[in-house]
Amino acid sequence: MPFELGLFLGAHSFGGPKQRAKTALVLDIKAFRYQKFLSDIAGQDIRTYDGGVEALIAEVSIWLRTEARLTEVPGGSVIATEYAGFMESFPALCRESRLAPSEVTFLDFKRLAAVWIEQVYGQAQ
């Protein structure tokens, strides 16, 4: 999504105080690949990861705890374990909602996640 990243960086540099206060996590599975698409991004902290879901979750978890200062966010391995449990339950949740997994929209996914959290933890978060 080089275009969207460029829009974000432009708004961050030239926008008002609200836009300048925003931060972003930029990830890629190959180091320096971004330079082919966005040569002007030098100086940004581009993080690389191995392309796996667990590594992605770990990077986001670290970023949320450090950059976003959300200290209550658990470590990546805990989140990855919970995500694996949700995805294991996902087909059944879809059946209960009378949805094919391929039909699930973002809002459906969000609702199904809330249902799963309620079932597992007894409270929606």
Q: What is the pLDDT of residues 69-113, one digit of tens each?
A: 899 999 999 999 999 999 999 999 999 999 999 999 999 999 999
pLDDT: is 28 or 114 the higher one?
Answer: 114
Paired with 47 in beta bridges are: 27
> Does residue 40 surpass a pLDDT of 80?
no
DSSP three-state, residue 7: helix
Determine the pLDDT at residue 33. 74
Collect all residues with Cβ–Cβ distance below 8 Å to 26 and sequence separation of at least 6. 5, 34, 41, 44, 45, 46, 47
Which of the four pLDDT bands, split at 50, 70 and 90, describes residue 68?
A: confident
